[in-house]
Amino acid sequence: MKHDKLAQMSQVTEAVYLAEFRKVQPLLQEETRLRGALARLNEQADSERKALATDMPMQTIGADLLWQAWLVRSRKQLNIELSQVLAKKSVVMERIRLAFGRRNAVQAMSDRFITDRAIAQRKKQFERLLQNHSDG
């Protein structure tokens, strides 16, 4: 394979890898946002649970049950959204792994080509030196 082809392949595989890598950034940000929202919800639930345990008027009117129902719905919705993001992230990460592997394979082929070419050039130079030395 010619070096120009390897250089072109290297550029293409690098571009594909970077394009796939860019796709995961918004998913990572969304995952972080959702995990943060779940953590805040859990902190809020702990805090409210302690407050409602001692607030008899709120228990009497059923506010504690309404709170629990809202908490369950909110946690469920956040977990559904997080699951969807993680599923998308899994698909994109697999594409990144494939693109990374292709990029590395092409880079290894290019490196090998350059090394083989350098060895061949040195061998030719050495043979010329031997030829010149034997002629002289």
Q: Which residue has the tokens 């050495």?
A: 126
Lowest mean pLDDT among 2-6, 23-27, 59-63: 59-63
Amino acid, single-letter form, for residue 112: R
Token representation of residue 28: 């990572």
Whole-model pTM over 0.85: no
Token representation of residue 38: 């779940």
Cβ contacts of residue 91 below 8 Å, gap of 6+?
none
Closest to 98 in 3D by CA, of 23, 2, 46:
23
Distances (CA, A) of 20 to 14, 54, 95, 106: 10, 53, 7, 17
pLDDT digits (tens, 9 = 90+) for 27-54: 999 999 999 999 999 999 888 776 666 6
Q: Which residue has the tokens 């506010």?
A: 63
Amino acid, single-letter form, for residue 103: R
The confidence band for 135, taking pLDDT boundaries of 50, 70 and 90, is: confident
Whether residue 117 contacts residue 7, with contact meaning beta carbons closer than 8 Å, is answered with no
pLDDT digits (tens, 9 = 90+) for 86-105: 999 999 999 999 999 999 99
What is the distance between the alpha carbons of residues 51 and 49, in angstroms, rounded to a whole number? 5
